[in-house]
Chain A
Amino acid sequence: QSALTQPPSASGSPGQSVNFSCTGTSSDVGAYNYVSWYQHHPGKAPKLIIYEVTKRPSGVPDRFFGSKSGNAASLTVSGLQAEDEADYYCSSYAGTNIFVFGSGTKVTVL
């Protein structure tokens, strides 16, 4: 299966919001409410920040908001902070215990 499509980059000033998409197909994102998002600081392990489209694990601030419409999911980070500068990857269940990741979005805090 092909990687989910994400914009290569997004940016915002501290305190602002940034939003970016994760586009798949009717066989993955569109078919299941099992989209998750991961924050990845280079050199560190990726961190789960959203699962099942909208849910946040314990300890993840509510500045991170996930949504989905049709074959596309989105992640919004509000009240940008310097530590939010990272790469963000979406992932979707694609049926028969198969997973697919997005191409990644680099978020820059200006």
Chain B
Amino acid sequence: QLQLQESGPGLVKPSETLSLTCTVSGDSISTDYYYWGWIRQPPGKGLEWIGNVYYTGITYHNPSLKSRVTLSVDTSKAQFSLKLSSVTAADTAVYYCARSSYNYFYMDVWGTGTTVTVAS
């Protein structure tokens, strides 16, 4: 059974870079049928798609965040990662990683989420 688990610092200072990793277990990360993505939920707000990464390293981003987002994948470790630069308090959120169908565009397996607070 596929499982995803987010990890990373829970507190990041303003202007610094937020770094999170998602570890995939129970199935291969190197699949042609899915890509791996990040979604966040700021306090009291809705879900926001951040971006997806394919196992080959091809990335897709939310245009509103694109200039600050770096996505990567390490197939040898079965992990994919998110870096968000120049963070502000507006980046405080619960961050989820998820598996997305490459052909049918739905997110069928989610991590439990990790809370990241941006504060000095």
State whether the Cβ of A34 lies closer than 8 Å to any Cβ in chain B.
yes
The answer to whether A101 touches B46 (Cβ under 8 A) is yes
- Across the interface, B106 reaches (CB within 8 A) one of A44, A48, A103, namely A48
Q: Collect the chain B residues with CB atoms within 8 Å of residue A52's CB.
A: 104, 106
The answer to whether A36 touches B105 (Cβ under 8 A) is yes
What's the nearest-Cβ distance from chain B to residue A106, in Å? Answer: 10
What's the nearest-Cβ distance from chain A to residue B93, in Å? Answer: 13
- Across the interface, A44 reaches (CB within 8 A) one of B52, B107, B112, namely B112
Q: Collect the chain A residues with CB atoms within 8 Å of residue B47's CB.
A: 38, 40, 46, 89, 91, 101, 104
The answer to whether B106 touches A45 (Cβ under 8 A) is no
Chain B residues 59 to 114 lying within 8 A of chain A, measured CB to CB, are: 60, 62-64, 96, 100-101, 104-108, 110-113
What's the nearest-Cβ distance from chain A to residue B58, in Å? Answer: 9
What separation, in Å, do the CA atoms of A57 and B108 have in the docked complex? 9
State whether the Cβ of B16 lies closer than 8 Å to any Cβ in chain A.
no
The answer to whether A36 touches B46 (Cβ under 8 A) is no
- Across the interface, A91 reaches (CB within 8 A) one of B49, B62, B113, namely B49
Count contacts on A: residues with CB < 8 A to the other chain. 27
State whether the Cβ of A51 lies closer than 8 Å to any Cβ in chain B.
yes
Q: Collect the chain B residues with CB atoms within 8 Å of residue A36's CB.
A: 105-107
What separation, in Å, do the CA atoms of A104 and B39 have in the docked complex? 14
The answer to whether B96 touches A46 (Cβ under 8 A) is yes
What's the nearest-Cβ distance from chain A to residue B105, in Å? Answer: 4
Q: Collect the chain A residues with CB atoms within 8 Å of residue B46's CB.
A: 3, 89, 101-104
Q: Collect the chain A residues with CB atoms within 8 Å of residue B62's CB.
A: 98-99
Q: Collect the chain A residues with CB atoms within 8 Å of residue B49's CB.
A: 91, 98-101
Chain A 55-71: CB-based contact to B (< 8 A → 1; otherwise 0): 00100000000000000
The answer to whether B106 touches A34 (Cβ under 8 A) is yes
What's the nearest-Cβ distance from chain A to residue B4, in Å? Answer: 9
A-B pairs, 5 with minimum CB distance: A51-B106, A97-B60, A93-B105, A45-B110, A36-B106
> Can you give 14 contacting A-B residue pairs, CB < 8 Å?
A1-B64, A3-B46, A45-B110, A48-B106, A89-B47, A91-B47, A96-B60, A97-B52, A98-B63, A99-B49, A99-B105, A101-B46, A102-B46, A104-B46
